[in-house]
Structure 1
Amino acid sequence: MEKRVNNLVNIKLLRTHITRLLFIAFILSSVSITAQIGNTQNSKTYTIGDIIVTGSTSFGAETVITYSGLRKGQEITVPRTSQSKIAEAVKKLWNSDLFSSINIYISSIEGNVANLEIHLQDLPELKDVKIEGVKKSKFDDIIKDNKLSPGVKVTENLIKTTENYLESTYQKKGFLKANVTITTSEVTDSIDKQRVNMKLNIDKGNKVKVKDIVFNGREKLKAKKLKKAMKNTKKKNPIRIFKRSKYIEADFNEDLVSIIDTYKENGYRDARIISDSLIYNPDNTVSLVINLEEGEKYTYGDIKFLGNTVYTDELLNRILRINKGDTYNGVELKKRIQDETKPDGDDIANLYQNSGYLFSSITPVETSADGNVIDMEIRIIEGKPAYFNKISVVGNDKTNDHVIYREIRTRPGQRYSKADVIRTIRELGQLGFFDAQQIEPNFKNVNANDGTLDMEYSVVERGSSQIELQGGYGGGGFIGTLGLSFNNFSIKDIFKKDAYKPIPMGDGQKLALRLQASRFYQTYSFSFSEPWFGGKKPVSFSTSLSHTKQFLYNPATRNADKDRRFNITGLSVGLAKRLSVPDDYFVLSQAISFQHYDLKNYNTGLFTFGNGSSNNLAYTIGLSRNNTNVDPIYPTGGSNFSVTAKLSLPYSVFNKVDYKALKEERADQLEIQNNTTLSNSTRNDAADRISEIDQERFKWLEFYKVKFNGEWYARVIGDMVLRPKVEFGFLGAYNNDRGVIPFERYFVGGDGMGTYSLDGREAISLRGYPNQSLSSQDGGTIYNKFSLELRYPITLKSQQAKIYALAFLEAGASYDNFRDYNPFALKRSAGFGIRLFMPAFGLLGIDFGHGFDPLPGQAVKHGWETHFIIGQQF
């Protein structure tokens, strides 16, 4: 709205027969200028005398005068031009966006001196905002986004900008007919300021959906194919779940580009959209009409490479993978030369970039299109190889430089490689000390003449230590947990007082302490790992120590029976080495572990002896490969698999125990124990003998255990990621007469965490069922599990938390032996959940799973189950 400000100049001369001479209205920019001067049309120059400020304004006179640019002793011209001092003063004051009215008067003239009066009216300030038409939960965002805080100056520009912003925001959400009106009303109060209340009336209307999409001029490609290419704009379909049919202009424009790309992929390189239109229908929907010109279909003719000296035509043709006679595909041609969507793609540009030719360029040029056959030249300018000059890292406030530099794949003097830069980003993200979403490689001092560049890696530290302090109810009583995990620890500074900020940090080591206790069990654990043992090679050293006490429930006292207990003390030491063959994503790990099991009156279904002890000395070897990228919390590509074997010594080979005789004796004693015609004393003696035999069998555990885990990550659309996973485990015995051990068994079902039976078992998650409900009482010796998970990020770039939602399908089962093994007899489930990762607390989440099959021994499907996740990923 155009604002008009009338600037009146009154000149009163204290002389006889002289009356009012001037009347001038100043309008600058949006202000038009008029001047009326008595009987004279001649300009006259005056010197400014006093300047006073009047009107309704909260600004001091000195501030106003200084800002206007006017000063005492300055010369002014009456009448003035648009370049005069007074005109410039009005323009400055008006452009400040602080005043609703600006008037400058010549209040009096004494000889050649003119005294000025600047009369101002402040713009009103905002007192309160009232919003109608949306939920109260949206009020704060609307006020914040549009800067409608109390005290802000209310201008026509503010009102119009707010209206446009809100209408545009809702239109982007599908409310195509959204309308916003803003009104203001003056506030009358004791404060000596002009203030107004603002009322925002938001009429979103209904979401406008797409009823139909019409293609005019389409003959060569099917409408179904073109509609499929439109990823964002879809026709109404009641069975579509994941993609709505609302119309959003920006998304529609993006889809128009996709339509042309589809034509180019099918040989129609000249296809274009002549026009498009939107038609409103009476039922509050829209129809989209797209007018096409398809053109003719083209094929490839001869393709020649020019300028290549480093690589042969044969090699470049293998990467290009386009032959004479193929249907012309402009989109695919561009990707084969340089795929912008895949930084590590298999294309010609990356071939040169990974070999040091940073300054290379590859340009496809059509040399002929006769008869719809396109001959092409791929013109290559290789340039000279580039070398890294200086490598630096910025942003690491806590992590020591050497921890970062040992993971960096680019070195000073080394030939440039894009693949090494990408791998460095991945390795820094996998450390877990930095926000993987904010790691950036910055090219510095790039010099094409001498072929050098500096590389600066910018990182953002995130909290890498975690604290676990919680209490809850489970396993028949209150459970308290205290855990401390320092994931960027520095053990060498442990005795340095100045290093405690609050703990010694920066060397990339991991130290974890955990204490958990309830009425029925207590567990203590300590672990430490150094990822670069010795400091020169990526050899990881790890060690852990744990002790667990568990007590049986006494139904008489409804409390823990301290005379019936099961203790486990464990110690392990391991080394893991990064390999270079087949590639350096492989890791070979080895560990030696020892557990001592001590039982006292601990008679359960799993153990055949309630008194005694057992020892587990085992060697574990594993081969794993993890090339997931980049963020370990939310990988978007790559895979992660591992194969491990845990082996004990074959004691039965050299301990001279006749296990076959023990097995036969055990069978005889079991028959006596089960014979109800015999006296209780005889049967009890048989039970005691069975316990003695089993104590002998399992004094030193003899077993082998093999596990496989494999998972893959692939982008579906945008940042949506699909993660399939497969697992398999097998627990076997060297000597069948000795039998499979009662420890180390698999218990399937639930969240994989909530087990309060700490007896050496391994809990396998399978959502949609209660914990460990899908295995027999003694646990399984075989299990397999398959899962498919679809993940979508809610926020990944926040330093406070990373959040993503997920939906899953799972199936799995455990088996007591190979006779029962059937990989297709699985318990199935599906559901959805959410994950929240906070640096201080680790991974938290909740899942809602629906079990489609009955639990063992039941006839109806299990239904819904809720799982709370702490510190693990499925």
Structure 2
Amino acid sequence: MKKEFLTLALFLGVANAAEIEKIIIKGNKYIPDELIRGLLSVRKGSEFSLERIRKDIRKLYRTGLFTKVEAYEEDQNKNGKPEVILVVEDLPVIYKIEFEGNEEFSDDDLKEYLGIETELGEVEVEETIEGYTSSPAIEERLAVMKQLKLGRILTFQEIESLRRRIEEVYKRHGFVGTKVEYKLIPKKGASKLVFVIHEGKKIYTSDIEIEGNKHFSDRKLKGLMELKEPNIFLFRLHPAFSEETLKEDVKKIEEFYKNEGFLEVEVSYEVKEEGPARKVIVKVKEGPRYKLKEIKIEGNTLFAYSELVDNILKKNERKGRYFRREVIEKIKNRIREKYAEIGFLNTSVEERVNVNPEKKEVSVLLKIIEGKPVYVKKIKIKGNYETRDYVIRREMRVQENELALKKGIERSKTRIMNLGYYEDVQIEPVPRRDAWWDLLVKIRERFTGQFSVGLSYNEVTGLAGFIELRKGNFRGTGDIAGISVSYGSLYRNNAISYTRKWFLKKPVDLDLSAFDRRIEYDTYTVERTGFSVALSKELSEYWRASIGTSIQRVKYSDIDPEASTYVKEQAGRRDSRKIFFTLTRDTRDYYLLPTKGSLFVFRNSVGVGLLGGDEKFYKFEVEGAKYFSDTYFDTGIILSLKGEVGFVEGYGGKKVPIDERFFVGGDFSIRGYEYGYAGPVDPNTLDPIGAKKKVITSLELMYPVFKKMLYFAGFFDYGLGADKWSDFKLSNFRGGYGIGVRIITPFAPIRIDWAFKTKTVPGDTNRSRIHFVLGTFF
């Protein structure tokens, strides 16, 4: 904003020591008198001071809310007490933005394109943090905006910028001749801003042709362009034409070629008019492709050349040893990451490129300025309006006065995100002085009080609907409270739970839950009602152990008359008292769809006869999984290897409850088989009765098809369920193999597999089977 010179006209004859009788505000259209008076140091009854009035005028200007401030003094009552008159021109406070004349775009569309909020209360005043964005001018402006509580102040330059941006939106969407005007409808304290739009004529793109491209396909180059041609399958019938957008697209294509080693490329375009449509012809002169001769590195005293380059150059050699900007940037990023791993956050890399046009070669010199190790001075947290600071600080793996290691910073971000309370978490090192920096933790909280309604499906529970009310980050403490109701044709699961984080101010979680579950199997129904209590503790960064107990009332009913003898023996009610222990090591990068890391789980549960318990058994399970991403060819393929081993036995003359046995085969074990049919079956009824022992392995390859949302998969499962270890012969093992798709939706993941058996078994003679799972992955 261009500020006018201050004007201060003070009449003679008033002593500096006189008492001010009145302060009068004039000329303000938008900002109330009371707010302006609140910014002044001079008050009614205070001592008149020329210097203080000058400071107040400068202060008003610094807020950026006034284009003019003039001060006058009068003594109308001739009593020696001056009246101070402030004449100002203020900027409008906008409480609402409206659009008129927009037929092609809705108000919401324009709001999204412009990146603005249009209603009162949608715009939040951005807080500042001492030492970063704070300054007297900013603080004074924020103070005014907080007091107004009506919206935001817009300068006329900002309003004009919005007006031009609306015209640009129309221009980029193919409209020519669009004109936009605005009007202010003022009120005392706030105003409504109305943009009046006179829409122009729309021009369409009829076709895009690309000529001269030999190394890259039309599809590849068109994918770089924002301008699009008609596509009936994407319901894109009349895509807009904008020459400004076309010019930017030509630059993108040219930049893409240069980044791929075509340093002499020339890209031009031609536009042909076809009535209201335009045909676009993009002409490419690729020229020669330059090779990458060498990359030299200087200034590295802490890492060897091979450590900094890794296998990046080898990959490039396999692709033809061409000069690619991507290769250079990967090496520069790796250099910064390697140094950040040992706390050198201020390491920088200077690049010098030498091009040899005769030999068509490029040499690159990377000069490293190593700097010094960085330590954390303070950790500042921003954006936690609900969460208490300590909830975030206890997840930090880098603390104040410690070396700022990259691994600790990244792990801190992962742990905070995994709490599930935030939409986004950023941890930014902020330079302060010398080797002492601050860490700024910026979080964007999500609404943690969730009311969810949805569906789930698998072959055991069938189709089930659920309603869940869950409050994460309860009262800002990180605790979790929830209640859920699930009903389906074969399934019922109602539960209430509470997790107390850092129980007794220790790194221990207390989990309490009460539940009522019912599952209808083919030949029987089992119901379990009770409650459980568990304590879990993080042993180290990736290891966690939990121990707990559950008290349940169990009922086996609806026994089919043709059911196996083992099932019939389960009929009736009994009491269950279980003690369980779990040990977990989890280094996965994302629990829903891991791309790297591993998972190890050891489970042990014991049914005991204490307090009237009728079930007596001990059960052990070990599960492991390892995930790999293709870093050799960078195809995005994910390989997962998984294995399970388990056994369960009864004691004290008691048999193992049937729903504690292992049912191998089905959606979550060996695909291609029905539930339980890769294990023992009753010889008379051919119904699965579960196994006392299990061994399961699985290999799966997933290939990303679309933006980490759609994957194709191939898999092979192999294993067996049996009652004796001697039955685990290779000739008895069952396998399943096939293909499938994985769909990651905002509501729930979806898995569809078509699996084939390696051998048919009695009771399950189909060669293949479709597996559909909604709500969780294998």
**Displacement of 1:238:** 13
What's the offset of the Cα at 1:415? 2.5
Is 2:617 the counterpart of 1:623?
no
Give TM-score scaled by structure 1 length. Answer: 0.52
2:298 corresponds to which residue?
305
**Distance in 1, Cα, partners of 2:538 & 2:109:** 49
**One-letter amino acid of the structure 1 residue matched with residue 554 of structure 2:** Y
Is the 8 Å Cα contact of residues 300 and 327 (structure 1) preserved in structure 2?
A: no
Residues 471 and 481 of structure 1 are in contact (CA less than 8 Å); yes or no, is this contact kept in structure 2? yes
Gaps of 5+ in 1: 1-61, 66-95, 97-125, 150-154, 171-177, 185-194, 216-221, 340-346, 490-504, 555-563, 652-697, 751-762, 794-803, 837-844
The answer on 1:418 being equivalent to 2:403 is no
Question: Structure 2, unaligned stretches of length 5 or more?
Answer: 1-25, 30-66, 68-97, 119-158, 182-193, 680-685, 723-727
State which of 130, 141, 145 in structure 1 corresponds to 2:109. Answer: 141
Match of 1:825 in 2: 736
Q: Indicate yes or no: 2:336 matched with 1:355.
A: no
AA in 1 matched with 2:395: E
Deviation at 1:641, TM superposition (A): 2.6
2:368 matched residue in structure 1: 380
Question: CA offsets per residue over residues 538-567 of structure 1, 9 Å max, x none?
Answer: 44444544344689999xxxxxxxxx9854
Distance change >3 Å, CA 769–CA 508, structure 1 → 2: farther
Contact 1:603 1:609 in 2 (8 A): no
SS at match of 1:350: helix
CA distance in 1, matches of 2:297, 2:165: 55
Alpha-carbon deviation of 1:408?
1.4
Does 1:166 pair with 2:184? no
Structure 1 position 508, deviation (Å):
1.8
Counterpart residue number, 1:465: 449
Letter in 1 for 2:268: D
Query: Does 2:282 align with 1:288?
Result: yes
Q: Which whole-Å CA distance do the structure 2 matches of 1:179 and 1:518 have between them?
A: 57
> Could you tell me which amino acid in structure 1 is paired with residue 335 of structure 2?
I
Q: Is residue 269–residue 280 contact of structure 2 (8 Å, CA) maintained in 1?
A: no
Measure how far apart 1:400 and its partner are.
2.0
2:401 partner SS: coil
The structure that has the greater radius of gyration is 1
1:404 corresponds in structure 2 to: 392
Counterparts of 1:367 and 1:478, CA distance in 2: 64
Give the Å deviation of 1:625.
Answer: 1.7
Sequence identity (%) = 16
Residue 268 of structure 2: aligned partner: 276
- Mapped partners of 2:464, 2:712: distance in 1: 30
Q: CA deviation at 1:390?
A: 1.5
Deviations 1:372-416 (A, max 9, x none): 787765433333333221212122222222221111123222223
In the TM superposition, what is the alpha-carbon distance from 1:196 to its structure 2 partner? Answer: 13
User: Residue type matched to 2:617 in 1?
Assistant: L
Partner of 1:778: 688
Question: Please, which moves more after superposition, 592-601 or 239-248?
Answer: 239-248
Identify the match of residue 470 of structure 2 among 474, 479, 485: 485
Assess if the C-alpha contact under 8 Å between 1:647 and 1:705 holds in 2.
no
Are residues 616 and 792 of structure 1, via their aligned partners in 2, closer, same or farther at CA, if it must alter by over 3 Å? farther
Change beyond 3 A, Cα 1:731–1:353? closer
What SS does the aligned partner of 1:223 have? coil
How far off is 1:214 after superposition? 0.9
Question: Which SS does the other structure have where 2:746 is aligned?
Answer: strand
- Give per-residue Cα distances to partners, 1:672-731, cap 9 Å, x unaligned: xxxxxxxxxxxxxxxxxxxxxxxxxx953355444445556799999x987665655555
- Counterpart check, 1:507 vs 2:477: yes
Query: Structure 1 residues 790 and 522 mapped into 2: Cα distance closer, same or farther (>3 Å)?
Result: same
Cα distance in 2 for partners of 1:479, 1:196 equals 50
CA distance in 2 between partners of 1:623 and 1:826 (Å): 29
Contact 1:614 1:701 in 2 (8 A): no
Structure 2 counterpart of 1:626, which letter? T
State the distance in 2 between where 1:145 and 1:773 align. Answer: 56
Given the superposition, is the C-alpha separation of residues 483 and 777 from structure 1 closer, same or farther in structure 2, using an over 3 Å criterion? farther
- In 2, the alpha carbon distance for the partners of 1:373 and 1:144 equals 46
Matched-pair contact (CA < 8 Å) for 2:513–2:533: yes
- Tell me the equivalent position of 2:73: none
More off after superposition, 722-731 vs 289-298: 722-731
Cα shift readout 1:279-333 (whole Å, capped 9, x = no counterpart): 65989754422123437645228x4634x4445667657698689x995746366
Map Cα deviations across residues 146-191 of structure 1 (whole Å, 9 max, x no partner). 89x9xxxxx9999997665324135xxxxxxx6677899xxxxxxx
Could you report, residue by residue, the CA deviation over 1:388-447 in whole angstroms, capped at 9, with x for unpaired residues? 212121222222222211111232222233333333222221111222x3x233444622
Map 1:216-227 to 2 at 5 A.
223-224=215-216
Alpha-carbon distance in structure 2 between the residues aligned to 1:128 and 1:234: 28
Residue 329 (structure 2) pairs with residue 335 (structure 1): yes
Q: 1:519 to 1:317 in 2, by over 3 A?
A: closer
Aligned 8 A contact 2:720 2:734 in 1: no
Equivalent residue for 1:644, pick from 598, 602, 605: 602
What is the count of residue pairs matched by the alignment? 593
Give the deviation of 1:357 after TM superposition: 2.8
Match status 1:608 vs 2:608: no
Counterpart check, 1:597 vs 2:508:
no
Tell me, yes or no, if the aligned pair for 2:337 and 2:406 is still in contact at 8 Å: yes
Q: Residue in 2 aligned with 1:529?
A: 499
TM-score, normalised on structure 2? 0.57
1:254 partner letter: K
Deviation at 1:487, TM superposition (A): 2.5
Could you report, residue by residue, the CA deviation over 1:648-672 in whole angstroms, capped at 9, with x for unpaired residues? 5899xxxxxxxxxxxxxxxxxxxxx
Question: Are positions 1:701 and 2:617 aligned together?
Answer: yes
Work out the CA distance in 1 between the residues paired with 2:437 and 2:369. Answer: 19
> What residue is the counterpart of 1:456 in the other structure?
440
Letter in 2 for 1:409: R
CA contact (8 A) 1:513 1:526 kept: yes
Q: Aligned-pair RMSD on alpha carbons? A: 6.4
SS of equivalent to 1:427: helix
Confirm or deny: 8 A CA contact 2:167 2:180 kept in the other structure: no
Q: Give the Cα separation in 2 of the matches to 1:166 and 1:352.
A: 47
- Which residue does the alignment assign to 1:11? none
Aligned 8 A contact 1:616 1:701 in 2: no
Per-residue CA shift, 1:515-557, capped at 9, x if unaligned?
5679998755344434445535x44444544344689999xxx
Sort the Cα spacing of 1:142 and 1:328 in 2 relative to 1 into closer, same or farther, 3 A.
closer
Q: Check whether the contact 1:464–1:486 (CA below 8 A) recurs between aligned residues.
A: yes
Give the Cα separation in 2 of the matches to 1:363 and 1:479.
59
- Which residue type is aligned with residue 398 of structure 1? E
Match of 2:746 among 811, 817, 835: 835
Letter in 1 for 2:571: N
- For 2:559 and 2:623, the matched residues in 1 are separated by 29
CA contact (8 A) 2:617 2:649 kept: no
Q: Which amino acid aligns with 1:299?
A: K
- Paired residue type of 2:499: S
Matched, 1:546 2:515: yes
